Amino acid sequence: MQALDSTIVNTAVPAISGALGVTPLSMRTALTSYVLTLAIFIPMSPWLCDRFGTRRVFGGAILVFSLGSLLCGLAQSLPQLVLSRIIQGLGGAALMPVGRYVMVRSIDRREFVSAMTTVATFGLLGSVFGPLLGGALVEFTNWRLIFLINVPVGIAGFLLNRREMPDYRLDRAHRFDIGGFLLFAGASALCLMAAETAGGDGHWFSVVIYALGALALGVTYVWHSRRTAYPVTDLSLLKVRSVWVSLAGNLFTRLGVSGMYLLLVLFLQIGCGWSPLAAGLMMVPQAIGSISVKPFIDRLLTHFGYRRLLLGNTIAVSVVLCSFALLSPQAPPWLVVVFVYIYGAVMSLQYTSMNTLTYVDLDVKYASMASSMASTAQYLSMSFGIAFASLLMAGFLETRDAEGYVLAFHWSVVVLGLITLAASWIFSRLRDPRAAAEA
């Protein structure tokens, strides 16, 4: 449901912006508000699971996500849509970390990579159907249906959750770290406000104030977490080499790639004049590329180890991102398909390797916190990545005609590729090729 929602919304950005009377790049607020809400509230999931159990938390998350989807479909303005996306994020914040936590608790560590690959393959079905469905609904019906379609999916998920979800919890949960949560939430929100202000018409003085405020709250949280028995995010896990490499590598990789599909949609629909359905179809080769690589990831990790595989593949991701600058409005559709397919394949290998690296050297008792930290880093970097990509596009956009969007897209993907390349240095910090950590 989450994969379906994210891919559908990206495809429909030009249509929604036109209906709400805003520019396409202004829609980044509706995208970043959702993923930032995920990042802020994900740290609550370990405590919620310990206190109420995985089954109740997961079921409640599905209901809140479905409610937010309904409100998105009824929104009449961009502020209403942003508020509804925040409600969606409140529900979505527990879906991925709780699901990963249940997997870690239920599956033998030796089979974990294979299990994650299997689950991710089914999750990619949302990425396959999302663009097709989103493009068709926008072109032939109404954009509101792209959100309303989540409601029946959510009802089905809720019923399955009641019957199938294991119920893990602690007999006696510790007190929730409300002070640490507020510090972390404030720092995250101010970071994104700085990025949003820099990408809009705000003054640079405001950007500096937001950035300094985020830095102050972040430093305060580090001080607070060291003096709290049960911090909302346990930074002591960063002493494990594979954990901090995974989280830092995730941050820089997703900073470079998270806004890519939004930029590609704007390039194809505005720069090249493609229809929403045709642009949505271009997500399908990416999903097929992702699925086609999944069966081989476990064997590739066994053969090369995390260090060599992530180091080489991150460089490949950077090269592929930069290569999108070779596309022009005259490029044949089959060439775009090839580019997107290759991008999907390398990103599938990247995501699965990064996500499983977090757990390879941790005891199962830290699984819930590690899952929360991994999901938080993922969505926090996604929100910054979307904002950063939009900022690049707006900065390179000299004219708002088709040619202007094409040139802005070309320069933006080159910069994003170089940002992603920085993650390769981070993955080179793994001393043991098999990611054996040194605590």
- 427-437: average pLDDT: 61
State the Cα–Cα distance between residues 253 and 251, nearest whole angstrom.
Answer: 6
Contact between 347 and 218 under an 8 Å Cβ cutoff? The reply is no
Return the minimum-mean-pLDDT range out of 53-57, 124-128, 365-369, 391-395: 124-128
Q: Maximum Cα–Cα distance for the chain, whole Å?
A: 63
Return the minimum-mean-pLDDT range out of 129-133, 227-231, 400-404: 129-133
Q: What is the pLDDT of residues 2-42, one digit of tens each?
A: 766 666 676 777 788 888 888 777 777 787 788 778 778 87
- 175-202: average pLDDT: 76
Mean pLDDT of the chain: 82
**Could you give the dihedral angle defined by the CA atoms of residues 191, 197, 200 and 203, in that order, rounded to the nearest 10 degrees?**
-150
Structure tokens at 190: 């101010």
pLDDT value at residue 436? 40
* Residues sharing a CB contact under 8 Å with residue 374, sequence separation 6 or more, in sequence order: 97, 100, 246, 247, 250, 355, 358
| Better pLDDT: 84 or 373 | 84
Q: What is the pLDDT of residues 87-118, one digit of tens each?
A: 998 888 888 778 877 887 777 767 777 777 77
pLDDT value at residue 432? 55
Backbone φ/ψ region at 273: left (φ over 0), alpha (ψ -120 to 50), beta: left
- 351-373: average pLDDT: 76
| Better pLDDT: 8 or 373 | 373
Q: What is the pLDDT of residues 174-183, one digit of tens each?
A: 788 888 888 8
* Cα–Cα–Cα angle for 137, 400, 21, rounded to 5 degrees: 50
pLDDT value at residue 435? 43
**What would the CATH number be for the domain defined by 2-166+232-427?**
1.20.1250.20
* Residues sharing a CB contact under 8 Å with residue 130, sequence separation 6 or more, in sequence order: 3, 4, 5, 6, 7, 8, 11, 280, 283
State the Cα–Cα distance between residues 266 and 26, nearest whole angstrom.
Answer: 12
Contact between 3 and 60 under an 8 Å Cβ cutoff? The reply is no
| Better pLDDT: 51 or 368 | 51
Residue given tokens 């479905």 in the structure block:
66
pLDDT value at residue 247? 86
Contact between 158 and 150 under an 8 Å Cβ cutoff? The reply is no
Contact between 117 and 129 under an 8 Å Cβ cutoff? The reply is no
Sign for the pseudo-dihedral over CA of 224, 228, 231, 237:
positive
Closest CA to 313 of 294, 300, 302: 300
pLDDT value at residue 104? 75
Query: How many Cβ atoms from other residues are within 10 Å of residue 99's Cβ?
Result: 18
> At residue 216, does pLDDT exceed 90?
yes
pLDDT value at residue 415? 92
Q: What is the pLDDT of residues 282-336, one digit of tens each?
A: 777 887 888 888 888 888 888 888 888 999 999 999 999 999 999 988 889 899 9
Most trustworthy range by pLDDT among 229-233, 356-360, 413-417:
413-417
pLDDT value at residue 196? 67
Ranges of each domain in the chain = 2-166+232-427, 177-231
Percentage of residues in the chain having pLDDT higher than 90: 16
